[in-house]
A and B are shown apart, each in its own frame.
Chain A
Amino acid sequence: MAVDKKFIGRKYPPVEYEVCKEKIKEYATAVGDLNPLYIDEQKAKQSAYKGIIAPPLFAVVYAKDAMAAPMFDRDLALNLAMLVHGEQEYEFVDVVRPGDTIVTEAFIANIEEKSNKDFVTVGATSRRKSDGRVVTNGKYTFVIRR
């Protein structure tokens, strides 16, 4: 059964995540991106950033819990066993650093049907809690086979 288009625009509650240095280091090491800006306090201090920064795509870590709500939304009822990650888009608006608390809100950006598959796009808007500024905009497109 097709995923109902009436859910386009549905919003989910904001979820907070506090960014920390050790988690940044763990992520950078796991993906094998050993840029000193992520893992080397001394070198990062000497850079234009004046300290450790999060890799831009660390967004997927601080947005993860906000993304869980649509995935497990019982009304939407996505068939997770048949779901694969189809496309991913990210816009990086501002630098994220250790100590930042990031608030992410997920929403259903689009639902469409193509060649007997459902394409569901979930948006994730992340803001820095201290000043309310948007830091990243994500779009996760999932493909659900029938």
Chain B
Amino acid sequence: MALQVKVGDTFKLQKEVDKYRPIFYAGASGDFNPIHIDGEFGKMVGLGGAILQGLCTMAFVMQTVSDWAQDPYRIKRIKVRFAKPVLPDDSVIITGNVTKVENNVASCTLIAKNQKDEEVINNAFAEVKVG
């Protein structure tokens, strides 16, 4: 199916992080670092509690692009910078913005913010095959 996009197109997705999400993600991914599954440990190392795995937040960003592109493997490249930890009970809003379309590749900038409007992922971009 053809994907028609133009510079300035935007897309968005909201994801809710429930209390046990870091534990589900630990089981699925194998990332059992105690900072993700043990609130007491998280407090001890100054994180204020357990934090969500950055790669889980990155998966939210991937889904945002994939849902918009209607095919996950249209995504050829992605890069994200983890700006701030995502915590259980956070709500994450991911926004994408098409900045360039050239040679059947759309370049998109991406940003993820929590419910307090703080950036949790920034300096992010994806390259998506279009046409």
Contact = CB atoms under 8 A, between A and B. Distances in A.
B60 A31 contact: yes
A27 B27 CA distance: 8
Contacts of A57: 55, 58-59, 62, 78
Contacts of A92: 73, 75-78
B63 interface: yes
Nearest to B73: A95
A26 B62 CA distance: 17
B73 A88 contact: no
A30 B28 contact: yes
A64 interface: yes
Interface of A: 23, 26-27, 29-33, 35, 37, 48, 53, 55-57, 60-61, 64-65, 81, 84-92, 95
Give the 6 A-B CB pairs with smallest separation, nearest first. A30-B28, A31-B59, A89-B79, A33-B63, A85-B54, A30-B24
Contacts of A81: 45
Contacts of A91: 76-77
Nearest to B28: A30
Contact of A85 (B59, B60, B77, B82): B82
Contact of A56 (B67, B73, B81): B73
